[in-house]
Amino acid sequence: MYDSGKILIGIIVFLILFTSPTWYDLVFGNPATKPNLVLPKKADQKECVMSTEYMRDNHMELLNVWRDEAVRKGDRIFITASGKEFEMSLTKTCLNCHSNKAEFCDQCHNYLGVSPYCWECHVDPKTVEIK
Amino acid sequence: MLEHALKGTKKYWGWLLFLSVIILVGVYFYYRQFNYGLGITGLSRDVTWGFYIAQLTFLVGVAASGVMVVLPYYLHNYKAFGKLTILGEFLAIASIVMCILFVCVDVGQPLRMINIILNPTPSSILFWDTVVLSGYLLLNVIISHTVLEAERKSLPPPKWIKPIIIISIPWAISIHTVTAFLYSGLAARPFWMTAILAPRFLASAFSSGPALLLIMVFIIRKITKFDPGKEAVKELALIITYAMCANVFFILMEFFTSFYSSIPEHIQHFQYLYFGLDGHNTLVPWMWSSAILAIVSLVFLLIPKYRKNEKILVWVCVAIFISIWIDKGLGMVVTGFIPTPLGKVVDYSPTAPELFISLAIWAIGFFIITVFYKITLSLRKELVT
Amino acid sequence: MDKNRRKFLKLAGLAALGVSAGKYIDIIAKDTAHKIPIADSLSNTKLPTVKVNPKNRWAMVVDLNKCLVEEGCTKCINACHKTHNVPDIGNPKDEVKWIWKEPYENAFLDQENYYMTASLEGQKIPIFCNHCDNPPCVRVCPTQATWKREDGIVMMDWHRCIGCRYCVAACPYGSRSFNWRDPRPFIKEITPDFPTRTKGVVEKCTFCDERLAKGLEPACVEACTTKALVFGNLNDPKSNVRELLKENYSIRRKPGLGTNPEIFYLV
């Protein structure tokens, strides 16, 4: 073909750019730190509403169920496996213990580049950020 | 078939570029609206539907009007419309796409729109509007694609397309009836709650839609070798005449029931539109322009000498299109809210972002029509090359 | 190179530039975050154990003879708007209100009367959602973001609302407000145990369903010092509201529309 040299160079440049997500961090190093979750130190509350394994994988599912139960059915009480009663509320229950959103929730969310829009309405009592 | 859209004259690409610039400006303003909220428009707590929904209402009518060429050709074998039916279907597709876009820019949380499908609510007319509009779009896409493919292969279209085309005829009536039902079932808005709203919508659709089709036919005839024939133009003009008669008649019916009954709830809206209410008269000049354009067009249409004069006919079509755009658009939608349920008169006028976004959506519609018509005419080798 | 191939490569290069430019627009357009004051503690440690009872039919009686709105009292409005983080936008175009004062002639448009009782003429009265028995807003909502609960309350689900404003068009009483912009900058002091809303959703009075779940009366009823607002169960023949309605003449707003409003005004 004509101009095969220029085309070949163009293809190589394109491939380098296209695969950059895979090699960039290896070459230039990655300053992003792994999430460092600070667990809450509440004296009166030793356990979460569900187990850690469940929450790590499914807390979004749980919050969706809480949302529909509390708002649409009017059932606001959640009973844990050990029989303890909690109100189904992000601000009043979850953040009651995990009161520092930046040291807990945001650690994983920021690392994964996830921004759940719950906080547009539900209040984080420590700070309120406006976009 | 798409390759026909990628080859064109400088004028073709220039026109597409012009439309693209308008679209990009609109995209910018929509980005601003998405971040700020719908408060960037002229809408308020009292007048919650305005320019966007006005365009939606008007364009559903234009989409439905495709049936005016499809019905005679397919149901009554009226051969003269043979060259026009596919153009009518493409106009319908472009109009429905514009309708959907106007809904998308009007809702407060567009990313949640799928909730309508995830939580179907048969009691809500908006749900049914979504169903019928999507269905109509699907029908027209299937029909126009199949028929054009057949034309390209110089074969008759496959037999199974005939029942689908027949279904599209009552479906076209249904889309505009359902859109009218959005308004005419609301006890809260006496201006809209009238049984004649759906017939009014259909009559105005069947005059404004074919008027637009005729304007486009005249433009295309000037710049290409396309000619649907004198018979088709004459018949279309006749359809527009009868539809416009019905439309004006229906409007006069509204005047009678309101003013003769003297019920303030009914009169006040017409007072606001045509005479002003409590010192608010933003829409008065618009409504009188619409009325004058309608009467003058009707006079020219009813006199055969003028109706058959194509030089006059094209301007009459422009006048009808503008008249109905005013009357069915802002004239109908905004006035439902004025006076408010609490008896106050609140003004509304669209803001610049609102207008630029709307203009961009119209440009998208014209972009779609241009591309589709280009493909069709290139296929039929009716272009001036 | 062939003319078409060259065109394609030019276009591809431009496209790549355009895609990367988008990222920078995002960074430039982000506003700076700032904090607004929050009420100090999370009030009410009471658990909301009261469930929805379909045998109830909640309603409100507004005694206009006791109401001091005319004298400038806004305790019910303040209590409601503070408890529920209703923003104070400050202009009639974008305003959001769940309960507010309206002149009698506007609230009761169908009570046209040239020669009115002096006590009622021009009197401002508190109006809010009527929690109709046959609500047109519920009928038209395409996502059931507003629905009628078994105990009669017309509820709002702000997670599901798409902001189409069909309910606003359908409400004959003007009870509903749309969030035309982000409400948070306009809330003087946020009450943390109730969420704010976001731009693009419709909101209105929900008869304080979150308080009812705790066995408390609605905020406006609790705040009213003259007991002009009376909240009760219409299905209980011995309830406070039923007694009041038996002994006093009451009117409702636009009863002829068939919406069956459940807010009764004692004139």
CA separation for the pair C263, C267 (Å, rounded): 13
Mutate: best of C190, C210, C214, C216, partner A, most A CBs <10 A: C210
- Per-residue pLDDT of A46-81, as tens digits, reads 788 999 899 999 999 999 999 999 999 999 999 998
Mutate: best of B28, B43, B48, partner C, most C CBs <10 A: B48
Omega within 30 of 0 (cis) for the link into B170: no
More confident residue, B50 or C5: B50
CB-CB: which of C35, C49, C155 is closest to A128? C35
- The pLDDT-based confidence of A110 (bands split at 50, 70, 90) is confident
CB-CB: which of C159, C194, C197 is closest to A71? C159
Does the pLDDT value for residue B253 go beyond 80? yes
Does the pLDDT value for residue B166 go beyond 70? yes
Residue with token string 């390759």:
B3
Does the pLDDT value for residue C34 go beyond 70? no
For residue C155, what are the β-bridge partners? Answer: C147
Which chains would you list as touching C if contact means 3+ CB atom pairs under 8 Å? A, B
DSSP alpha helix (H) spans, chain C:
3-29, 75-83, 104-107, 136-140, 166-170, 209-212, 219-223, 240-247
Given this model, what pLDDT does residue B371 score?
95
Shortest distance between the Cα of C179 and any Cα of chain B, in A, equals: 8
User: Is A93 within a domain?
Assistant: yes
What domains does chain B contain, in order, with CATH numbers?
2-379 (1.20.1630.10)
CA separation for the pair B237, B297 (Å, rounded): 11
User: Is A2 within a domain?
Assistant: no
Instruction: Please name the residues between 7 and 66 in chain C that touch chain A, using a CB distance below 8 Å.
Output: 9, 30-31, 33-36, 38, 42, 47-49, 51-52
Which tokens in the block code for residue A1? 């073909």
- Per-residue pLDDT of C153-167, as tens digits, reads 999 999 999 999 999
Contact call for residues C177 and C96 (beta carbons, < 8 A): yes
CB contact under 8 A, A91 and C33: no
For B38-63, the DSSP string reads GGGSS--SS----HHHHHHHHHHHHH
Shortest distance between the Cα of A92 and any Cα of chain C, in A, equals: 6
Shortest distance between the Cα of A118 and any Cα of chain C, in A, equals: 9
- The pLDDT-based confidence of A112 (bands split at 50, 70, 90) is confident
Given this model, what pLDDT does residue B18 score?
98
Percentage of chain B modeled with pLDDT above 90: 89
All residues of chain B having their beta carbon less than 8 Å from the beta carbon of residue C179 are 37, 108
Which residues touch B35 (CB under 8 Å, ≥6 apart)? Answer: C29
Single out the residue of B345, B280, B344 nearest to residue C105, CA to CA: B344
Residue with token string 């961009």:
B360
CB contact under 8 A, C196 and A123: yes
Given this model, what pLDDT does residue C122 score?
83
- The rounded mean pLDDT for chain C is 87
- The pLDDT-based confidence of B10 (bands split at 50, 70, 90) is very high
CB contact under 8 A, B186 and C170: yes
CB contact under 8 A, A74 and C51: yes
Mutate: best of C23, C143, C161, partner B, most B CBs <10 A: C143
- The pLDDT-based confidence of B3 (bands split at 50, 70, 90) is confident
All residues of chain A having their beta carbon less than 8 Å from the beta carbon of residue C213 are 74, 76
Interval C140-152 mean pLDDT = 96
Interval A30-47 mean pLDDT = 76
CB contact under 8 A, C196 and A121: yes
CB contact under 8 A, B108 and C178: yes
Q: How many domains does chain A have?
A: 1
Dihedral of alpha carbons A63, A67, A70, A74, sign: negative
CB contact under 8 A, C195 and A122: yes
CB contact under 8 A, B119 and C139: no
CB contact under 8 A, C180 and B182: no
Does domain C58-266 fall into CATH 3.10.129.10?
Answer: no
Burial (CB < 10 A; 0-12, 13-18, 19+), residue A106, is middle
- The pLDDT-based confidence of B322 (bands split at 50, 70, 90) is very high
All residues of chain C having their beta carbon less than 8 Å from the beta carbon of residue A91 are 42, 192-193, 195
> Which residue from C minimizes the CA distance to B344?
C106
Single out the residue of B306, B310, B93, B299 nearest to residue B215, CA to CA: B310
CA separation for the pair B197, B205 (Å, rounded): 12
Shortest distance between the Cα of C235 and any Cα of chain B, in A, equals: 27
Shortest distance between the Cα of A27 and any Cα of chain C, in A, equals: 21
- The pLDDT-based confidence of A16 (bands split at 50, 70, 90) is very high
All residues of chain B having their beta carbon less than 8 Å from the beta carbon of residue C181 are 36-37, 39
Whole-structure pTM over 0.80, yes or no? yes
CA separation for the pair A104, A119 (Å, rounded): 14
Does the pLDDT value for residue C30 go beyond 60? no
CB contact under 8 A, C174 and B342: yes
Q: Which domain holds residue A84?
A: 32-120
C29 CB within 8 Å of a chain B CB: yes
CB contact under 8 A, B187 and C258: yes
User: Is A53 within a domain?
Assistant: yes
User: Is A127 within a domain?
Assistant: no
Cα angle, residue A109 at apex, residues A107 and A113 outer, rounded to 5°: 120
User: Is A79 within a domain?
Assistant: yes
Interval A33-46 mean pLDDT = 76
Instruction: Please name the residues between 209 and 238 in chain C that touch chain A, using a CB distance below 8 Å.
Output: 209-210, 213
User: Is A95 within a domain?
Assistant: yes
Given this model, what pLDDT does residue B299 score?
96
CB contact under 8 A, C33 and A130: yes
CB contact under 8 A, B112 and C94: no
- The pLDDT-based confidence of B382 (bands split at 50, 70, 90) is low
ipTM of model over 0.85: yes
CB-CB: which of C34, C49, C184 is closest to A77? C49
CB contact under 8 A, A123 and C38: yes
Given this model, what pLDDT does residue C2 score?
64
Shortest distance between the Cα of A54 and any Cα of chain C, in A, equals: 24
